[in-house]
Amino acid sequence: MAWLDRAAFNPSKLPHDVVIGVALTPSIAAGLIIYKLVALEMLGIAIAFGIAGELFARFAWRAHIPRPHASPIIASLFGVALVGAGAPLTTKIDGITVPGVAIAIALAAVVLELLRARYVPAVRAQAGLFAYALIALITRGAPFAYVNPADGLLAADPINSWWRYFTPDAAAVDAIKLYVGNVPGPVFATSMLAVVVGIAWMAYARRLSLIVLASFLVGALLPIQLFHWNLVFQLDSGPMWFVAGLILADRRMLPDSWAIRPVIGIVAGVFAVGLRSRGYGIEAAFMTVAAMQAVAAVLVTIMWSFSVARERMRRTRRLRQREAQLRVVKTVSRAG
């Protein structure tokens, strides 16, 4: 009952992973309703790999990973959530069955999260998104295999269809259908309604940066107005707001400087939507946020390395001074 009371009336005191897990629940539920068995299989894969990673962290690296740390389960869920329902769970290469895209992303997400927590805990990034982007680049877009929920056949996402077959100011799909999420797209991120509920929960739990979310909207509006696109259709995108609200605007993932947060939001919004003018679909938002977090991770790693090196130099200098002082004391003692 104490947990329920805290979740209902004081969610800001809940562990961060619990807050993120609750925020993901509406999107996961919508994916199960829309994609049914395929979504259930991907959910099972993500949870299984996440639990295995959590057990490994608890028993093998218990003394090396600080507590609390980001859960591998959350990283695995984020990675699998962006995979298209048409991506096979297994595939055959030269007659040998090998793991498919969802399994590879779940495994990579868990491994990256464990390595981050063990060696560079100062890095603030979503390992699941990194795993998705990495596998997508290696396989040249294998996670982009989307399925039409109506007939179960492979189909392009709404933004891709709009770019190929419609005029710039047109809308390829009805706004209500996009809002509900019954369209081709990532298995756990097509429903704008579910994503909005998750974002609202994060705001209620005080884990959402409203300035980043608002600046992302401002950045997204710039290319829309510049190219005279349909405003409602371009913004009514569950996948885009999934990464913008649940990953980019997550306070734990942001730098401490308040001045740079609006810049991050505006730049991400401009590229996430502006790249659609080059024929990129909803994946532009995924790759944009992943690239920005990767740049931030590199900068943090460099700064952290310099800090560690400086601290080691100070420690070495202090040890040398102590040894010199001990030699002086021993010399005086012998002379006495």
Kindly report, residue by residue over 131-148, the tens digit of the pLDDT: 999 999 999 899 999 999
Which residues of the chain are under the pLDDT cut of 50? none
- The pLDDT score that the predictor gives to residue 190 is 95
- The pLDDT score that the predictor gives to residue 5 is 54
Q: What are the chain's domains?
A: 2-321 (1.10.3430)
Burial class for 49, CB neighbours closer than 10 Å (0-12, 13-18, 19+)? buried
> Residue 252 gets which letter from DSSP?
G
Determine the 3-state secondary structure of 17 from DSSP: helix
CA 102 to chain centre: 15
> What are the DSSP calls for 75-123, one per residue?
HHHHHHHTSBTTS-SEEEETTEEEE-HHHHHHHHHHHHHHHHHHH-TT-
Query: Which residues lie below 8 Å from residue 146, measured CB to CB, with a gap of 6+?
Result: 84, 85, 86, 154, 155, 156, 157, 184, 185, 186
- The pLDDT score that the predictor gives to residue 59 is 83
CA distance 52 to 55: 5
Backbone angles phi and psi of 168, in degrees to 5: -60, -35
- The pLDDT score that the predictor gives to residue 271 is 96
Determine the 3-state secondary structure of 186 from DSSP: strand
In the chain, where does DSSP find H-type helix? 2-9, 16-35, 37-59, 72-81, 101-119, 127-138, 158-165, 175-180, 192-204, 210-226, 231-235, 238-243, 261-274, 283-335
- The pLDDT score that the predictor gives to residue 84 is 94
Residue 23: closest CA among 70, 68, 76, 78: 78
Whether the model clears a pTM of 0.85, i.e. scores above it, the answer is yes
* Degrees, nearest 5: CA angle 24-28-33: 150
99 forms bridges with which residues in the sheet?
90
Query: pLDDT, tens digit, for every residue of 56-92?
Result: 888 877 666 666 566 899 999 999 999 999 998 877 6
- The pLDDT score that the predictor gives to residue 182 is 92
Structure tokens at 316: 């070495």
- The pLDDT score that the predictor gives to residue 143 is 93
Contact 30, 188 (CB under 8 A): yes
Determine the 3-state secondary structure of 235 from DSSP: helix
